[in-house]
Amino acid sequence: IAEQCKACRTSAAVFDMSYFGKFYLSGPDAQKCADYVFTNNVQRQPGASIYSCMLNSRGGIESDLTVSVLDNSQLLPCEPKFQGPGFYVAAGGGSWNQALSHIMSVVRQQKFDVQVHNATNDMALISLQGPKSRDILQKLVDVDLSNDNFPFSTNKIATVAGRLVRLLRLTFAGELGWELHVPNESAVQVYHAVMAAGKPFGIANAGYRALDCLSIEKGFRHWHADARLDTTPHEAGLAFTCKLKTDTDFLGRPIV
């Protein structure tokens, strides 16, 4: 574990995060639903990826996750087609069922006209993290990975080893890095391409315990340990995820 952490901090490491929940929110009320169920401001331009919480009516944290705003004209072949706003949600592997259940409950209660597509078992998630991650990935993709063109908390579609992937510039390790969200049938080819490109840099495979250590060092919160159903964002140090400076209502706002 120590060697895996060291590789991530000094060069690069690859984490298989395919166990994360992955689902899509679209439909006539998609924006309205997203505004209400996610604490952070998701009224962003396509290409944004936002870290957010979801709360219950008592202000407790039901889940923390990332929400990516999609361009309906730029989708992977495996992604559902839609008109208007659409969102791609990735939730932690230990709590994605909780997150999806909460979204579906809110949809029913509020009678939102939306479609929720669960793609958890259809897509892999390969996370490339570390100070050399840009150098490695830039050898493989057809998009500019510079800060100006691909800033933190954004997403783009790119080609890796001839396979289309959705790249998210996010990190659970506290390092420069990208998540590669890829259809299952392309995962092995993409993984081997990343490892081959990273070999000169000393890239390493790393597991969940290493990721756990790295995220704890960074001070990232873990749902179920640092935040639970009865923990408010203020108590968890996650108030920054709440759009309290806007007039947009969201579930749990009166308590927060």
Per-residue confidence band for 225, with pLDDT thresholds at 50, 70 and 90? confident
Per-residue confidence band for 94, with pLDDT thresholds at 50, 70 and 90? confident
Work out the average pLDDT over 76-83. Answer: 94
Going by CATH, does the domain composed of 2-238 fall within 3.30.1360.120? yes
Work out the average pLDDT over 207-219. Answer: 93
What SS3 class is residue 62?
Answer: strand
Tell me the C-alpha distance between 178 and 66, whole Å.
13
Work out the average pLDDT over 10-14. Answer: 98
Residue ranges for the binding site?
179
Per-residue confidence band for 105, with pLDDT thresholds at 50, 70 and 90? very high
pTM of this structure:
0.95
Taking all residues of the chain, what is their mean pLDDT, rounded to a whole number?
96
Tell me the C-alpha distance between 157 and 166, whole Å.
4
Residue ranges for the binding site for substrate?
179
Tell me the C-alpha distance between 30 and 110, whole Å.
12
Nearest to 89 by CA among 53, 57, 130: 53
Question: Using one digit for the tens of pLDDT, what is the confidence trace for 112-149?
Answer: 999 999 999 999 999 999 999 999 999 999 899 999 99
Tell me the C-alpha distance between 114 and 102, whole Å.
14
Q: Is the pLDDT of residue 38 over 80?
A: yes
